[in-house]
Amino acid sequence: MPEIRACRDRILILEPTSNKLKIRTPILFFALWFGWVYLAAQNTKPDSGNSTTAPIGYSSAPDAERNKTLLLKDFHPVSMLHAPVHEIPRAKYYVIDVHSHVNDAAGIDEHMPPKRVVEVMDATNVKTIVILTGMWGTKLQHVIDEMVKPFPGRFIVFTQIDWSKIDDPNFSDEMVAQLDDAVKRGARGLKVLKDLGLGVRDKSGKLVTVDDPRLDPIWEECGRLGIPVSIHVTDPEAFFHPVDNTNERYEELIEHPDWSFYGDKFPTKESILAARDRVFARHPHTTFVALHVANWPENLDYVSGLLEKLPNVMVEFGAREAELGRQPGRAREFFLKFQDRIMFGTDNEVTEEMYRNHFRWLETGDEYFDYWGYPGQGRWKIYGMQLPDEVLEKIYHLNAEKLFSKFKQDPALASTR
């Protein structure tokens, strides 16, 4: 029998000492692998048209539209963008959050143990939180007793107007007296909710306008007392448009249909803001905080004009990170220009993650990341502004401290640090 010799990387070896063909185990494994590769290569060769593999094309599939069945609420795409991520666990400078409802009198947010709130604040470098919806009388007193007194320097509370008395002949005097009582109890500002201009009606059914003369004595008294008026009128621009396939906040408005102010039964957004701006101009000795970036962050040209014209107006950005974060160039320009008039506000439940998301937006140049609450306000991403240190410090706390400077010796506002 002829002798066939091969090295161990061959398939078979015939040895003269044996009459049988010996197949060694490693060689058998390699033989099987080689056969598999060969067959796979054969199957990928082009043939004469008998293959069932579909060619790569450039036209839409004929059934493409019919197959688009994924519900919008179930669509959670994961970005494939490779971009730097900078986590900011603590704000670079201590923070005064001028827009919160934590443990308020109105019950807007779910109640949190006060010590847990302080724990979040300590972890994120938030020195003070302003609780805007403190109401009045005994309800206001409860917030002061639970949040302000036990934690000196950590909480400030605002009072509100009692709209149930709007038809009283002496409504203005009653509200001035209520305001004076609230300040004596420890309130340090007045909060006005968006029901003014959209929901508050007198007994005739007529909407009470923002510039109703019955409110003038209240605004004047705030100026005399040296307390700010934090005012929220109207809402995002999309809330005044039809709730249809063109509305960028469609999902939000389906979730909250009572937030839609489209139609003849509501005044226009522009008319409400015009009435508010007339109030600002009529009371130059009262400081107004136009909440939510004057409630038109979609139109920073308008907000810029307002601030340029009326020096007694400040703004904050509670619940408007999404709007500002999607226009980083324009927003950064706005922040730099009006760095003495903008304050830090969140209008969100108090959590470490919420604050850290805001710090990332303000302090870093990160691109294309989720705003806090995404996609609740719209399906877009935001970009960091990487604000300079001197601007950050003003927005984080210096501007707010100026706002409350009249009460800087107040034990309730004293720093514990």
Per-residue HEC secondary structure of the chain comes to CCCCCCCCCCCCECCCCCCCCECCHHHHHHHHHHHHHHHHHHHHCCCCCCCCCCCCCCCCCCCCCCCCCCCHHHCCCCCCCCCCCCCCCCCCCCEEEEEECCCCCCCCCCCCCHHHHHHHHHHHCEEEEEECCCCCHHHHHHHHHHHHCCCCCCEEECEECCHHHCCCCCHHHHHHHHHHHHHHHCCCCEEECCCCCCCCECCCCCECCCCCHHHHHHHHHHHHHCCCEEECCCCCHHHHCCCCCCCCCHHHHHHCHHHCCCCCCCCCHHHHHHHHHHHHHHCCCCCEEEHHHHCCCCCHHHHHHHHHHCCCEEEECCCCHHHHHCCHHHHHHHHHHCCCCEECCCCCCCCHHHHHHHHHHHHCCCCCECCCCCCCCCCCCECCCCCCHHHHHHHHHHHHHHHCHHHCCCHHHCCCC
What pLDDT does residue 55 have? 87
Digits of tens for pLDDT over the chain (417 positions)?
444 444 444 444 444 444 444 445 555 555 555 555 555 555 545 544 555 677 899 999 999 999 999 998 899 999 999 999 999 999 999 999 999 999 999 999 999 999 999 999 999 999 999 999 999 999 999 999 999 999 999 999 999 999 999 999 999 999 999 999 999 999 999 999 999 999 999 999 999 999 999 999 999 999 999 999 999 999 999 999 999 999 999 999 999 999 999 999 999 999 999 999 999 999 999 999 999 999 999 999 999 999 999 999 999 999 999 999 999 999 999 999 999 999 999 999 999 999 999 999 999 999 999 999 999 999 999 999 999 999 999 999 999 999 998 876 555 544 433
What pLDDT does residue 407 have? 79
The whole-angstrom separation of Cα 269 and Cα 272 is 5
What pLDDT does residue 1 have? 45
Q: Which tokens is 82 given?
A: 């490779």
Domain ranges of the chain: 1-39, 95-413
For the entire predicted model, the pTM comes to 0.85
The whole-angstrom separation of Cα 69 and Cα 64 is 10
Looking at the domain that runs over 95-413, which CATH code has it been given?
Answer: 3.20.20.140
What pLDDT does residue 14 have? 41
What pLDDT does residue 12 have? 43
